[in-house]
Amino acid sequence: MPKNVPWQGQDIHTGIWKHPVGGPVMVRTLNIDGDGQGDLNGHGGENRAVLVYQNASYDHWRDHLGRDDLTAGSFGENFTVDGLPDDEVCIGDRYRIGEAEFEVTQPRVTCFRVGMRLDEPRMPNLLVAHHRPGFYMRVIREGRVSAGDDIVLVERGRHEISVADIDALLYLPDRDPELLRKAVDIPALSPGWVQSFQDLQRPKSSSALAWSGFRSLRVRATHRETEDVLSLLLEAGDGSALPTAQPGQYLPMRIVGAAEPAPLRSYSLSNHSTDGTYRISVRRDMHGVASAWLHDHIQAGATVDAAAPRGDFVLADGDRPVVLLSAGVGCTPVLAMLHRLAAEHSPRRVAWVHTTRDRVTHAFADEVDDLIASLPDATAHYVYTAEGPRLSAASLAALALPTDASVYLCGPDRFMDDMRDALVRNGFDQSDVHSELFGARPRINPGAVGAPSPVRPHIPAGEPGAGPAVTFSRSGLTADWSPRFASLLDFAEACDVPTRYSCRSGVCHICVTDVVSGTAAYAREPLEAPPEGSVLVCSAVPRTELVLDL
């Protein structure tokens, strides 16, 4: 059963410490009696009720790792079996064992806890690289199972694709498109894996950055939209035309002069311009060093350092209706989308919904009215909270928004959470609701016990580092690297920067992070390199001064 296990300064709730039991055990739809999982997001449940690992793989790892301490249960499995090799068992195969019947659903999840259990951090990587992951089964018929029971193949899975091949298809490069097509056509395959393979089949949008690192941009003009919102029109410092950005992207900027070290902030582009300029619009934050400095000091002719526009919160092509929903200065990225729709004289149905305190704080009101008027099928809805109730599921329903629309949502975190729930309650598909998040992304720390640390990101405890400066741009922290940390992920955790991981060994890509500037090197080579301009922080260390979108 799950227990809390101390590991790298934190407690991990896990059931991976398993031991053989005597006599029959009752296997049920969700689990085996007397067994449990600590992290039900990645383990357990109907599609992962039973984990299988093979005696032959134990023999392989004893030889490969030079270990003589591997005993049944060491890999966290429920059934240790003779036979059933990963390169012969297929997804969808059905087996009868004792009184119960099972169906193979997916390979083992590449999780750091198997490495923690075996005191071998490379283990998730090795399981995939050596094509020996093991596999999960769902329970088709409940019943008792005992050691010594025969394992009888009842039915072969559709397309007869082995566990090892499915595992490699997700985690290794050079994927076979035909195998991908067949994989999503296996009814027994777990829904999460089907979704991953569907994502891999979709055409990749061009995400090449317009330039690497930072370059100097000149402020052509400034304009005060409201008392606390200032727009800056930016042009290239060398007089060339800036590359056209996608509407909805943001511009990372280093605000030299505001503090030491210079703070890094990201501001949405608030228009969609093809004339070689960018516009950003900055709200003065009463606690914000960077925004206050810009409001008080920036003038036409000044220069700022900026990285290339980036971000996946962009307006998709197509003819579906569009809902642009925002609060306060969160209107800036969706305003850029509205500019593009107007520039293209788009026939799409467009609904602009914006909420702010009152007319005085309503930035871009006249600009939006003009853009809406230029479109053949567009409406604008304004909600002033000083004059009435806030937006809610009921007030959204009264607007009769098209529920088949793509929704682009931006504003404070609480607003976006509330609006996402309200939209779903009004019949919108959650997958059609897209949102932008500028602060730290939600943590993915599977099994870690307790609430996320409430402390602000900080310089790590202990002797200061003397290596390259590492900036976590979303967290507003710069700290000097120290080689006492094994990876950038370890360094981020020591700084209390919110992190995301699962395998911690370069397999799953959950920790993939955009590199704003600088370079990193891999202390442990990942099985597949991440997209250009990004890094797997679980396996990398800084090579030069580094700015991460973390």
Instruction: Map 459-509 to HEC letters.
Output: CCCCCCCCCCEEEECCCCEEEECCCCCCCHHHHHHHCCCCCECCCCCCCCC
Name beta bridge partners: 351. 323, 379
- List strands edge to edge, sheet with 433-435: 378-384, 350-356, 322-327, 406-410, 433-435
Give Cα separations from 374 to 120, 342, 354, 467 (angstroms): 62, 6, 18, 54
Average pLDDT of span 136-147: 97
Instruction: Give the lowest-confidence range in 125-139, 189-203, 347-361.
Output: 189-203
Identify the architecture of domain 448-548 in CATH.
Roll (3.10)
Q: Is the pLDDT of residue 206 over 90?
A: no
pLDDT of res. 204: 62
Beta strands 135-141 and 100-107 are antiparallel
CA proximity to 354, closest of 335, 374, 377, 376? 335
In this structure, CATH architecture of domain 322-436: 3-Layer(aba) Sandwich (3.40)
Q: Could you identify the residue written with the tokens 């088709």?
A: 140
DSSP state letter for 432: G
What are the pLDDT digits (tens) for 143-184?
999 999 999 999 999 999 999 999 999 999 999 999 999 999
Q: Residue 463, exposed/middle/buried by CB under 10 A (0-12, 13-18, 19+)?
A: exposed
DSSP E strand stretches across 348-486: 350-356, 378-384, 406-410, 433-435, 469-472, 477-480
Residue 159 zone, left/alpha/beta (φ > 0; ψ -120 to 50; rest): left
**pLDDT value of position 532:** 87
pLDDT of residue 131: 97
Query: What value does the mean pLDDT take over residues 485-493?
Result: 95
Average pLDDT on 340-350 reads 97
Instruction: State how far the Cα of 428 lies from the Cα of 424, in Å rounded to an integer.
Output: 5
Two tokens at 244?
Answer: 């056209």
Evaluate whether 322-436 and 448-548 have a shared fold. no
Fold held by 214-307? Elongation Factor Tu (Ef-tu); domain 3 (2.40.30)
| Locus of tokens 């991440």 | 530
Q: By three-state DSSP, how is residue 295 classified?
A: helix
Burial of residue 519 (number of CB atoms within 10 Å: 0-12, 13-18, 19+): middle
Share of the chain above pLDDT 70, in %: 98
pLDDT at 453 over 70: no
pLDDT score of 447 more than 80: no
- Res 210: pLDDT: 86
Rounded Cα–Cα distance for residues 435 and 409 (Å): 5
347 prior amide bond cis, ω within 30: no
Which of 266, 291, 248, 292 is CA-nearest to residue 517? 266
H helical segments located in 184-278: 191-201
Which is higher by pLDDT, 445 or 215?
Answer: 215
DSSP state of 442: P
Tens digits of residue pLDDT in 245-289: 999 999 999 999 998 888 889 999 999 999 999 999 999 988 889
Write the class of the CATH domain 3-201.
Answer: mainly beta
Distance separating alpha carbons of residues 245 and 243, to the nearest angstrom: 6
Say if residue 14's pLDDT is above 60. Answer: yes
Closest alpha carbon to 140 in 43, 35, 49: 49
Break the chain into its structural domains and give their ranges.
Answer: 3-201, 214-307, 322-436, 448-548
pLDDT digits (tens, 9 = 90+) for 383-399: 999 988 999 999 999 99
Query: With bands split at pLDDT 50, 70 and 90, how would you rate the model's confidence at 346?
Result: very high
| Of the listed ranges 134-148, 162-176, 443-457, 464-478, the one predicted with least confidence | 443-457
The residue among 111, 90, 221, 64 whose CA lies nearest residue 504 is 111
Residues comprising the chain, all counted: 550
